[in-house]
Chains A and B, each alone.
Chain A
């Protein structure tokens, strides 16, 4: 029973991270119908940048802020420079392009920082809470992770629902041509969407790095799992991404706890295949409204 509770707790904190990665993928999919397979590599780069700041004497908070800021800029640059030219190309082009970007970034990171994973500091203690003599598998740092992800999800929701920029971004995503006819600068909205997405990804990178270590390929599994979470949530819906991330975090935590961590990637694959076969639009996506 304690094991179950432990697995549930650690599933929640893993799930929060998957949710952040899934959010990053969903934000981009919504606005450009592209799955950004380079996301894992982009957040790897921003985490390396944060690591460099911290190692050269900067505080954790500064490193954290630099990661988010560099993620924002990185996302915008990627959208402007490589994604913009293939916006209207067939979907396969975008798939290959983002995979190429992934490959390039992994190689560049290896050149600059080497291929041996290094440690990355956590914001808070990694020692589990003590409840009546037993130590839980949930640490102050996990609390931090969950709270930060909740805060970001709420901030994004507010941005989209309650601000005029958010309204313009949604319009640009749902109906780019109509949005242009209403004076929305759709190109800028897409850039902003990529920037916000990459920032959310950068956040996930900094949060997960203490437990997976920091190396060019450290975040590959998280990208795959984030993709599964996004698909689980419908790929189109930010709340779906959060729910998908949490569900997947719990499921994979149980698999890892009871069957061994080697099965985690396979379990993610199995969940993905089942979801795609049963309901290719995702389990949590709202059914499409009538369109005339």
Chain B
């Protein structure tokens, strides 16, 4: 038992594999018992997770925020749609979606790495509005306003003839989410992740110790774009459609609400955020029904909540749910927080209003220490 624990502590790769296997098995069992509707929701949550994980790593690790990730989702979705209609199989299609968005993400990231604050926000906002307009420019290739439709994925016959489509879609989307989790877990806990955070915390100091700040930020941006591309590709598979209307400005702002509510900088935060994005429209719908509100009210209620969440988070709770959970854990178990060392003051300051919304993640800092420990001995 201690040997296993020691091995887990020593190897980040092993830990991440263990994490992915455990989460995967849990998801597999869960999908068995979920209704078709719930399985579709799970699929929605899984592709949102991919995008939010990328955004949160970008924000928490390199201090940039992007409002253009809705456009990267569109790139992924259109890639999947074009290739799917050209007869490609599912897996190569999704890989291609990742590769294409990575390639698009690199120049965008290079431009973004030179911009700060409101300039970056405005530029990525313009990107979110500008890119989907391409579908109108090339109606014969990209399908114009109506977009491109895709054939639904077919569950392999080995699963049995009656295997529900929704469960298969949930599996596909969850597999994508697990790959994202695996990659980002390793990125965050690797020397790359540490160098990202060094850049975020102090660009000048980072460049003095020889980190190439622009390159780190470009890399972080391109990685997060690729994750958004995967998310968009999965969205296309699940909804069987790639359409400019699916990627409005509002989507990018919803994603922003998702990362902010989850707490920037932690993968757990991305899970919370994804859950919120899926469940909130349901809840507000229920509320609207039970108060028999009009459809224009019930349609706009989730969006109003996202807006309130963003405003409220900035005014009251700048580190999101995950920051709150961490603060609560730290309060209940001071020992844990104490062990986190340099993570603790950050967790405390996160609770204060007016702090930067890009907090140092205390659990990351703690694991950094753990990861470094063996080599120092």
Contacts and interface: CB of A to CB of B under 8 A. Distances in A.
Contact of A92 (B117, B253, B307, B312): B117
A103 B310 contact: yes
B303 A82 contact: no
A276 B114 contact: yes
A290 interface: no
B356 A90 contact: yes
Interface residues of A, number: 51
Nearest to A101: B311
Contacts of A107: 300-301, 303-304, 306-307
B303 A110 contact: yes
A94 B296 CA distance: 29
**What size tier do the contact residues of chain B reach?**
35 or more
B206 interface: no
B126 A228 contact: yes
B354 interface: yes
Contacts of A101: 307, 310-311
Interface string B174-189: 0000000000000000
Nearest to B144: A262
Contact of B310 (A100, A114, A231, A280): A100
A108 B304 contact: yes
Contacts of B257: 100, 103
Contact of B119 (A89, A269, A280): A280
Contacts of B256: 96, 99
B355 interface: yes
B250 A106 contact: yes
Contacts of B312: 100
A140 to B, nearest CB: 31
B314 interface: yes
Contact of B130 (A35, A96, A110, A266): A266
Given A99-B67, A104-B311, A272-B126, A262 B134 contact: yes
Given A224-B126, A231-B119, A103 B301 contact: no
A100 to B, nearest CB: 3
Contacts of B297: 111
Nearest to B252: A99
B315 interface: yes
Contact of A93 (B123, B126, B250, B314): B314
Contact of B300 (A111, A228, A260): A111
Given A92-B358, A107-B301, A265-B133, A100 B314 contact: yes
Contacts of B117: 91-92, 95
Among A107, A115, A268, the most chain B Cβ lie within 10 Å of the Cβ of A107
A208 to B, nearest CB: 16
Contacts of B122: 35, 37, 224, 227-228, 231, 272
Nearest to A87: B354
A96 B313 CA distance: 9
Interface string B326-365: 0000000000000000000000000001111110000000
Interface string A9-51: 0000000000000000000010000110100000000000000
Interface string B240-251: 000000001110
B137 interface: yes
Nearest to A263: B137
Given A276-B119, A277-B114, A265 B130 contact: yes
A103 B308 CA distance: 8
Q: Which 3 A-B pairs have the closest CB atoms?
A: A100-B310, A104-B307, A103-B307
